[in-house]
Amino acid sequence: MRKLGGLWLAGVLISFGVMGETRDAVMKKALAHWTLGDGGKSAAAPLAATGKIEFGVPAEGGGARAGATVARMTDAYFDAGKDLNVPGQGITVYLRARDPRGSWNYALLNKRGTHDILNFNLFGTELGGAHGTEIGFEIHTDQGFVMINFNVEQIDPKAWHDFAGRYDGKAIELICDGKVMVKRSWHGGNLTQNSEPLLIGAEMDHGKVVRPFTGEMEEAAVWNCVLSDDELAQIMRQEKIMPDENYAEPYFSPIHYRPVEGRLADTIPFFWNGEYHIFYLRAISKVPWEHLVSTDLMYWKELPAALRSDGAADGPDGLHMFTGSVTEHDGTFHIFYTGWNPANKEGREKVMHATSSDLIAWTKHPEHGFFGDGIHYQNSDFRDPYVFWNEAAGKFWMILCARDAKTGKPVQGVAQSGDLIQWEQLDPLILDPPLGEGTPECPDVFKIGDTWYLIHSPSAGTTDMRYASDLRGPYRIPESPTIDTPILYAAKRMFDGQRHIITGWIRDLSGERDGGNFEWGGDQSVPREVYPGHSGMLYFRPVPEALRQFTKMEKMVAGVPTKTIQAFAMPDNYLLHCRLKIDPEEEVCITMREQKAPDSGYRLILRPKKQEVEIAGKTFSYPRKVRLDASQPVNITAFAQGSIIECFINDAYPFSCRAYEYRKGGLSILPCGGEVEILEMSVKTLETGDTGK
């Protein structure tokens, strides 16, 4: 009797919930709820059915509910109309469905027109290759698009399943049968609205209905609020919701500045009177020049925006304030920037000028602006002015992203001025070989010793370097021309009287996925010292100010020779330094954030025989050439901070990546065939802990 009583009590708890709320009561809270076995006839929001659908079909197959009737669909879908937008920062969507064939390559429940015209989308899709079929959930907010997904192989693909997507303004979750399959932090924002129909079993794509469903559906609902775990457990008829064991709370790295709203894009560094100024483009509507200042390159004070859109809607200052440079002359500071506005009939880009007496308050001088002259340079892709004093010429020089007026090919443009007001356009720098397809954005020219260096970023690819013995060129390509992986972009430099320091942005990836598309902007990289290397190379190492932030020793290892894997437990966020003696004929793999699953985490692979290093994850790989003398110990410094990993090989070669998928995990060192000796390894964290601020 006690056992029966216990079973009865458990049934009551599942039926009525911990707080006594029934499943029906939770369903009544829904913005819309449909029982699909009868076509949703009792729903407040009626459905229109399209395609072959059988109603009242008894549920069968794995996980079927006794007595349930469902809709059996063949290339079919339901349309709930265009009025059911979910506003604000709270949504829960629910669908109970089965695909007897186990395909799941269908739209499921959504209100979308494209990735950008999207309120929410619960879907299945075939990604191909090793990924297979995924169940996904995505939303679009005024902060952008985010998607999460899990592989169908994690569930019985032919059984009935309860799917739910949930977003609370801080994180997005995808739940299946009472378990959170994947959860990801998202930096807020209100859900975007649209005039597309809400569809069950299909989706809109640029005005067309696509990907209709074949299988069975029992029930669907949408709430304009966030259901609690208890409420969601009621909906899914589960005792409780099991959390995602891989989820880590958002971590805001103290050494990677990021604005609260939008993203940090192109940085324009400037050193003056003992202070490091970073002007940057903030990736929001009508991009402004924002302004930061620091005395130690780590703690940044936000100052008033330097430049904002304030001109006529069709004028050069009517939309975006794009990249340029800052210089000082005779007590006056000068900003040269790009006014970028496709609505300007004179030209999309115009070089513009502003001045200041204190670096804080800036006065624009629109009368000083100019376009490409049509003789040297086209009046398109004419932007990103970098200004410096050319001692030999006795004039100021301006280096520009430009296109040749005759051929239209990308070139590194040049202009000169004696007064920073009137500019004469000259022939471009000599590049050997010439540029390929990408226009050379964010140029920076400087001299160390007897060598001139050119850094630029050819159209959202990588930030590259060249070198020359003369300012005019020819600028040649060193053996390893990129200054980092494609994850670092638009890096520029300043000189503080003793050292050259460069910063750029660690780019965001769409959906906060390791394999997501490249976004414009992200977090500021760790500032790096720039110094000359071999044969025209520039080397890069983290500034000591960044290293000094990590004072709490977590682990110290020394003198460990091994031919097998060495594994170490690690804090979530840390600074790693290791010195290794490696076999010159074999590879060594250092994996950060490693999980129990194979091929998890982020691998830094040293290949001395190929003179190559690679940083890689499951969905990306960034190899490049290095000089690796395996007769000497190899030094590796790595910052693992939230979703950012920045590694430095021998204080010369940076390798950066985004680390969205794995926010915590162990460290392993694996020699592939030979032997590696861990001469020294230390792991340090911030004294304030590793949870961020």
Tokens of 287: 């991009």
Please, what is the Cα angle at 489 between 291 and 662, to 5 degrees? 100
Residue 476 inside a domain? The answer is: yes
Q: C-alpha 540: how far from its chain's center?
A: 23
Q: How many independent structural domains does the chain possess?
A: 3
| Residues lower than pLDDT 70 in the chain | 1-20, 128-131, 688-693
Q: Which of these three, 481, 515, 546, is where a domain ends? A: 546
**Count of Cβ atoms closer than 10 Å to residue 641 Cβ:** 25
Residues 538 and 568 in one domain: no
The pTM assigned to this predicted structure is 0.82
User: Is the Cβ–Cβ distance between 250 and 281 less than 8 Å?
Assistant: no
Instruction: Please indicate, yes or no, whether residues 215 and 76 belong to a single structural domain of this protein.
Output: yes
Does 557 share its domain with 539?
Answer: no
- Domain co-membership, 311 together with 403: yes
The verdict on residue 693 lying in a domain is: no
Q: Are strands 500-509 and 518-524 parallel, antiparallel or unpaired?
A: antiparallel
| 525 & 379 share domain | yes
Q: What single-letter amino acid sits at 180? A: V
Q: Are both 523 and 649 inside the same structural domain?
A: no
Domain boundary among 495, 522, 546: 546
Tokens representing residue 390 in the block:
């050319």
The answer to whether the beta carbons of residues 431 and 468 sit under 8 Å apart is no
Q: What is the pLDDT of residue 1?
A: 28
| Claim to verify: residue 528 and residue 614 sit in the same structural domain | no
Asked, for residue 162, whether it belongs to a domain, the answer is yes
Q: Do 40 and 119 belong together in one domain?
A: yes
| Rounded CA separation 540/532 (Å) | 9
Asked whether residue 414 falls in the same domain as residue 504, the answer is: yes
pLDDT of residue 167: 97
Looking up residue 479, the CATH number of its domain turns out to be 2.115.10.20
Domain boundary among 498, 515, 546: 546
pLDDT, tens digit, for every residue of 200-253? 999 999 999 999 999 999 999 999 999 999 999 999 999 999 998 777 777 889
- Asked if 527 and 555 sit in the same domain, the reply is no
Residue 374 burial (CB count, 10 A): 10
Specify the pLDDT at position 447.
Answer: 98
Q: pLDDT, tens digit, for every residue of 437-447?
A: 889 999 999 99
246 belongs to a structural domain: no
The whole-number pLDDT of residue 12 equals 40
482 and 577 assigned to the same domain: no
What residue numbers bound the domain in which 510 lies? 264-546
**DSSP code per residue over 386-418:** EEEEETTTTEEEEEEEEEBTTT--EEEEEEEES
Task: Return the amino acid letter for 77.
Answer: Y
The pLDDT assigned to 686 comes to 94
